[in-house]
């Protein structure tokens, strides 16, 4: 049986009802193309699964051997959260002896049109997507273009046919809650991550599972978004709702540090009156007073494994989902 013919730029132009030159301008993100023509070409690219010929591009673009690290988050979040710094550092370190160039593509959650056009344009050989929200549709572009790609963190959309590396977030949430239960705490609250992300849902589910098994109430829930500011505001809301709470599991270290500051600012002693457990084991966890008990999130290992998986995919090998184990790092905050 003959191999299936790959779609060409001519096919895209015919499907979109435009000239080949217009289709080429869209692929190359030329801003002079009108909105209707651009949308028609982009729809044809998605429907046909077209990818530009990278061998031809490399004749005029010597920097073509590259991968994109795609982060659908606002710039202030990317540069403020140590999770992203650790991830990017590990990716670049894993490729330090390789000719592959690392490019960074960012965009607001749910507003990733520029990222999607970039990925469709054939400017990169592969992508590592870090962070995934419910309203992100980058995975659909990756499916349509057949661009080799790996997620760091399980995609919210579930099984989208794209491999990922993640930590066992549900088990981590359960570990945190069980540690507080074993310490004799009975009014245990949680500050969640974003509920439009798999990590936020899974850590909350693990916390709730452990409390339910112990016969404890799981009603003290306030939502955060992994930012320091959300940790402060959520902790203050919890104190107002339940002054008698005696423990809190916070779904990231960045939020947990702020939550501890909010407790201490309200005259609440940590851990004597309220024990605190975070998630990540970032450098900040060791710098708080008292040092923060936290759940290990092996960020560098996840990023390194994601690079290895992507390189295999780029060489036409297979790769599947990988879930890494976690553990509790006990310090004085609990």
**CA 161 to the chain's CA centroid:** 17
Rounded Cα distance, 334 and 325, in Å = 22
In terms of Cβ atoms closer than 10 Å to its own Cβ (0-12, 13-18, 19+), residue 12 is buried
- The pTM score is 0.80
Rounded Cα distance, 206 and 29, in Å = 44
Taken in order of first residue, the domains within the chain and their CATH numbers are: 1-48 (1.10.260.40), 169-298 (3.40.50.2300)
* pLDDT tens, N- to C-terminus, the chain (334 residues): 444 567 888 888 889 988 777 887 788 777 778 888 888 988 988 888 887 765 444 434 443 378 999 998 888 888 888 899 999 999 999 998 888 889 999 887 767 788 888 888 777 888 999 988 888 888 888 888 888 899 999 998 777 889 999 999 999 999 999 999 999 999 999 999 999 999 999 999 999 999 999 999 999 999 999 999 999 999 999 999 999 999 999 999 999 999 999 999 999 999 999 999 999 999 999 999 999 999 999 999 999 999 999 988 887 788 889 999 999 999 999 9
Enumerate the β-bridge partners of residue 276. Answer: 248
For 148-242, strand residue ranges (E) read 149-152, 164-167, 188-192, 221-223
Question: Are 164 and 152 a contacting pair, CB within 8 Å?
Answer: yes
Residue 280 phi, psi dihedral angles, 5° rounding: 145, -40
Rounded Cα distance, 107 and 227, in Å = 17
Rounded Cα distance, 331 and 276, in Å = 10
Question: Are 50 and 9 a contacting pair, CB within 8 Å?
Answer: yes
- The edge-to-edge listing of strands for the beta sheet with 101-106 is 101-106, 66-71, 126-130, 149-152, 164-167, 322-324
């Amino acid at each position: 049986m003959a191999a299936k013919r790959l779609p060409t730029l001519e096919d895209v132009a015919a499907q979109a009802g435009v000239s080949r030159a217009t289709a080429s301008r869209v692929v190359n993100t030329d801003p002079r193309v009108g909105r209707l023509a651009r949308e028609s070409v982009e729809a044809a690219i998605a429907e046909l699964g077209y990818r530009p010929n990278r061998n031809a591009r490399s004749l005029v673009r010597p920097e073509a051997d590259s991968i994109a690290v795609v982060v659908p988050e606002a710039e202030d979040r990317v540069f403020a959260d140590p999770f992203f710094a650790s991830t990017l550092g590990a990716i670049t370190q894993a490729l330090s002896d390789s000719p592959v160039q690392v490019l960074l593509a960012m965009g607001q959650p749910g507003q990733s049109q520029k990222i999607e056009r970039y990925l469709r344009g054939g400017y990169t050989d592969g992508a590592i997507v870090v962070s995934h929200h419910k309203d992100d549709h980058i995975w659909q572009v990756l499916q349509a273009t057949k661009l080799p790609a790996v997620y760091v963190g399980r995609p919210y959309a579930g099984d989208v046919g794209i491999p990922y590396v993640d930590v066992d977030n549900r088990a981590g949430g359960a570990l945190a809650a069980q540690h507080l239960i074993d310490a004799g705490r009975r009014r245990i609250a949680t500050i969640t991550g974003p509920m439009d992300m798999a990590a936020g849902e899974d850590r909350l589910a693990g916390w709730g599972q452990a409390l339910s098994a112990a016969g404890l109430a799981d009603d003290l829930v306030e939502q955060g978004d992994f930012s320091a500011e959300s940790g402060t505001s959520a902790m203050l809301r919890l104190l107002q709702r339940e002054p008698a709470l005696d423990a809190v599991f916070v779904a990231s270290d960045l939020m947990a540090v702020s939550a501890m500051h909010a407790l201490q600012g309200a005259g609440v002693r940590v851990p004597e009156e309220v024990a605190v457990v975070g998630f990540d084991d970032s450098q900040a966890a060791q710098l708080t007073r008292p040092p923060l008990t936290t759940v290990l999130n092996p960020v560098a290992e996840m990023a390194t494994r994601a690079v290895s998986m992507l390189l295999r995919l780029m060489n036409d090998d297979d790769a599947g989902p990988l879930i890494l184990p976690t553990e509790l790092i006990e310090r004085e905050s609990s």
